[in-house]
Chain A
Amino acid sequence: MKILSREKAVAKARILFYAVILLLIPTFLYPWSNQPKSSKGILDYLPPKNELQMWNPIGQPQTAQGEDLFQLINGGAEIYHEYGFKNAVIQSYEHKNGLSLNIEIYEMEDTQSAYGAFSFKTGCQGKKADVRTEAVLEDYYLNFWKGDFVVTIIGFNTSQATHKALLKFARIIESKLPKSEENYPPLIKSIKSRFPGVIRTVYLEGNLALYNQYEFDTENIFGIKKGAAAYFSDHTLFIFEYRNKGEAQAWFQNAREHLSQNHRFHGFEKSAEGILFQDKKDDSLFISPFQKFILIYLGKDISKAKDRLEKLKKDILENLILHHSHTCL
Chain B
Amino acid sequence: MKISRRDFIKKSASLGAFSFLSVGMNTGCKSTQTTTEKQTVNIDISVAQGKDYSANTRKAVENLGGMEAFVPKGSKVAILANPQRNNPGAFTKPDILRSAIQMCQEAGASNVTCISQLPDQNWEATGMKQVLLDEGANLVIVDRSDDSQFKTLPVPKGTALREAQIMSEFFNYDVFIDMPITKDHAGNKFTGTMKNLMGLSSSKTNRTFHKKNWQTDINAIDHLEQCIADLNTIIQPDICIVDATEFITTNGPFGPGEIIKPQKVVAGIDRVAVDSYCCTLWGLEGRNILQITKASDHGLGEMDLNKVKIKEISV
Contacts and interface: CB of A to CB of B under 8 A. Distances in A.
A151 to B, nearest CB: 12
Nearest to A157: B88
Given A76-B253, A102-B87, A81 B203 contact: no
Given A125-B258, A154-B87, A207-B218, A76 B252 contact: yes
A211 B87 contact: no
A70 interface: yes
A152 B219 CA distance: 30
Given A207-B218, A215-B288, A219-B218, A73 B256 contact: no
A123 B255 contact: no
B258 A123 contact: yes
Interface string B81-98: 000111110000000000
Nearest to A68: B203
B210 interface: yes
Contact of B203 (A70, A76, A141, A152): A70
A212 B187 CA distance: 8
Q: Chain B interface secondary structure, helix, strand, loop or mixed?
A: loop
A195 to B, nearest CB: 23
Which has the most chain A C-beta neighbours within 10 Å: B186, B206, B257? B186
A77 B84 CA distance: 13
B215 A206 contact: yes
Contacts of B210: 70, 75, 77-78
Contacts of B187: 75, 78-79, 208
A172 B235 CA distance: 48
Interface in A197-252: 206-208, 211-212, 215, 218-221, 223
Interface string A75-104: 111110110000000001000000000100
B185 interface: yes
B51 interface: no
Nearest to B121: A59
Interface string B241-279: 000000000111111111100000000000000000000
Contacts of B214: 78
Contact of A211 (B125, B189, B207, B250): B189
A215 B206 CA distance: 25
B210 to A, nearest CB: 6
B189 A215 contact: yes
A71 interface: yes
B248 to A, nearest CB: 10
A81 B198 CA distance: 20
Contacts of A264: 288
A74 interface: yes
Contacts of A75: 185-188, 191, 195, 210, 252-254
A71 B221 contact: no
A154 B89 CA distance: 12
B58 to A, nearest CB: 26
Given A218-B222, A219-B218, A219-B219, A73 B186 contact: no
Interface in A126-159: 138-141, 152, 154, 156
A264 B254 CA distance: 28
A123 B257 contact: yes
Given A73-B254, A92-B125, A78 B186 contact: yes
Interface string B169-199: 0000000000000000111110100010010
Contact of A70 (B207, B222, B259): B207
Contacts of B253: 74-76
A187 to B, nearest CB: 19
A300 interface: no
B290 interface: yes
B64 to A, nearest CB: 29
16 contacts: A59-B121, A71-B144, A71-B203, A74-B198, A75-B253, A75-B254, A78-B210, A82-B215, A123-B257, A138-B258, A208-B187, A212-B186, A215-B189, A218-B290, A219-B219, A220-B218
Given A76-B254, A219-B218, 13 more contacts: A58-B125, A73-B85, A75-B186, A75-B195, A78-B210, A79-B187, A120-B251, A121-B251, A121-B257, A138-B258, A207-B221, A218-B188, A218-B221
Interface of B: 84-88, 121, 125, 144, 185-189, 191, 195, 198, 203, 206-207, 210, 214-215, 218-219, 221-222, 225, 250-259, 288, 290
Closest 10 CB pairs of A and B: A76-B254, A141-B256, A218-B221, A220-B218, A79-B186, A73-B254, A219-B218, A78-B187, A154-B256, A75-B187
